[in-house]
Amino acid sequence: MTQRANAAPQVVVVGSINMDMVSHSRRLPGPGETLMGEAFVMAPGGKGANQAVAAARLGAPVAFVSRVGTRQHGAELLAALAEEGIATSGVVADPAALPGVAVIMVASEGGENSIVYVPGSNAQLSAADVQTSAALLQSAKVVVAQLEVPVPAITQAFELARATGVTTILNAAPALPVGDALLALSNWLIVNETEAGQLAGMASGSVDEAAAAALALLQRGPQQVLVTLGAQGVLLCGAAGVQHLPARVVKAVDTVGAGDTFVGGLAAGLAEGMSATDAVRLGQAAAAIAVSRSGVQSAMPRRAEITL
Ligand code: ADP
């Protein structure tokens, strides 16, 4: 455990955590078929936990607010957070529940994958669970959430945070409908190109279309809307207009988790007091390193690896 665990948390992530169970086989099996696999890996994941790890690796003191079933792999998931120096006092451990699990099959020829995600205890995170972390949320610099936990829990977290002037970041992923009440509680809205289009109900296939979708989303309450465009970088959209910040040029090996690394990096930068564009650059620098390595949490860089 690092000394960060003792510092007052500046970034509080409210979100999901699960175990990724990944098998590699030459091709994906068809219905009813059994294949011999080549490798199997188990690794902690979930958008919430991923973003918490990304921010912690970059040096932010981080706390996690979540509900974790401690049957089966739950204890391992909690231990992994502690290893990263992430405070877990806001994690409600539920001995009766199963933690979330993602069963992932990857074809070694072609890289295609199939995923079954079972949310487990993530689906049970309640507003009352979040309320028990009120002091943590209200003394943070930045509170971050994604849509893999129920909206009432996120709303509760953002209401508490905003009441004391804490900056809120909603990463509206996966693509699910979000009401204007939650958007109005979000200082920052972060979506990828696809999510931007679905949330705005508009086309978002080109940079111009994504910019139009971002401007439409800005009208629904957030002060800043960020649309991530993969290798094309991000659109930063606020009162001053739309700014396109290109991504760093790297050889991408595995882009899974790019968005989570970016969001964690942005949160760490804002918590440090960086300007919006500098915090975006920190997120982009971290995500560029992460996509150049395989794995999700295992690919996330430490602060010493970042050049801005
Ligand atoms: P998501 O994983 O949510 O779909 P993106 O693919 O848009 O998110 O990636 C998030 C950010 O990660 C991008 O804005 C960019 O800064 C960085 N990134 C993603 N893919 C690449 C890449 N191939 N090269 C460099 N940076 C990348």
Residues found in the chain: 308
Would the CB of 247 count as within 6 Å of ligand 1? yes
Q: What is the pLDDT of residue 2?
A: 46
Q: How far, in Å, from the CA of 215 to the mean position of ligand 1?
A: 20
**Alpha helices (H) in the chain, listed in sequence order:** 47-57, 74-83, 127-131, 134-138, 151-163, 180-184, 193-200, 207-218, 258-271, 276-291
Would the CB of 259 count as within 6 Å of ligand 1? yes
Catalytic-residue membership of 260: yes
By the 8 A CB rule, do 96 and 69 touch?
Answer: yes
* Beta partners for residue 169, in sequence order: 144, 188
By the 8 A CB rule, do 155 and 179 touch?
Answer: no
* Residue 233 CA, closest ligand 1 atom number: 14
Q: What is the CATH number of the domain that holds 258?
A: 3.40.1190.20
By the 8 A CB rule, do 271 and 291 touch?
Answer: no
Burial class (CB in 10 A: 0-12, 13-18, 19+), 164: exposed
* Residue 207 lies in domain: 11-297
Q: What is the pLDDT of residue 41?
A: 93
Cα–Cα dist 146/263, whole Å: 10
Would the CB of 229 count as within 6 Å of ligand 1? yes
Residue of the CA atom closest to atom 27 of ligand 1: 231
Q: Is residue 2 part of a domain?
A: no
Cα–Cα dist 303/145, whole Å: 22
Q: Is residue 89 part of a domain?
A: yes
Contacts of 168 (CB under 8 A, 6+ apart): 142, 143, 144, 145, 157, 158, 161, 162, 185, 186, 187, 188
Query: Which position among 129, 208, 260, 278 bears the catalytic label?
Result: 260
Would the CB of 258 count as within 6 Å of ligand 1? yes
Contacts of 34 (CB under 8 A, 6+ apart): none
- Peptide bond connecting 9 to the previous residue in cis, omega within 30 degrees of 0: no
By the 8 A CB rule, do 178 and 151 touch?
Answer: yes
Contacts of 219 (CB under 8 A, 6+ apart): none
* Residue 194 CA, closest ligand 1 atom number: 4
Burial class (CB in 10 A: 0-12, 13-18, 19+), 243: middle
Q: Is residue 305 part of a domain?
A: no
By the 8 A CB rule, do 68 and 78 touch?
Answer: yes
Q: What is the pLDDT of residue 13?
A: 98
Q: Is residue 274 part of a domain?
A: yes
User: Which structure tokens are listed for 301?
Assistant: 């860089």
Tell how far CA 152 is from the center of its chain: 18
Q: What is the pLDDT of residue 151?
A: 98
Cα–Cα dist 11/270, whole Å: 9
Pairing of strands 39-45, 18-25: antiparallel
Q: Is residue 234 part of a domain?
A: yes
- One-letter amino acid of 281: R
Q: Is residue 6 part of a domain?
A: no
By the 8 A CB rule, do 286 and 259 touch?
Answer: no
Q: What total of structural domains would you count in the chain?
A: 1
Q: How far, in Å, from the CA of 288 to the mean position of ligand 1?
A: 7
Q: How far, in Å, from the CA of 292 to the mean position of ligand 1?
A: 11
Q: Is residue 193 part of a domain?
A: yes
Q: Is the dihedral of CA 119, 19, 259, 83 positive or negative?
A: positive
Q: Which pTM does this prediction carry?
A: 0.96
pLDDT values of the chain reduced to their tens digit, one per residue, 308 residues: 444 546 899 999 999 999 999 999 999 999 999 999 999 999 999 999 999 999 999 999 999 999 999 998 999 999 999 999 999 999 999 999 999 999 999 999 988 889 999 999 999 999 999 999 999 999 999 999 999 999 999 999 999 999 999 999 999 999 999 999 999 999 999 999 999 999 999 999 999 999 999 999 999 999 999 999 999 999 999 999 999 999 999 999 889 999 999 999 999 999 999 999 999 999 999 999 999 998 999 999 999 999 98
Q: How far, in Å, from the CA of 211 to the mean position of ligand 1?
A: 16
Q: Is residue 1 part of a domain?
A: no
Q: How far, in Å, from the CA of 260 to the mean position of ligand 1?
A: 9
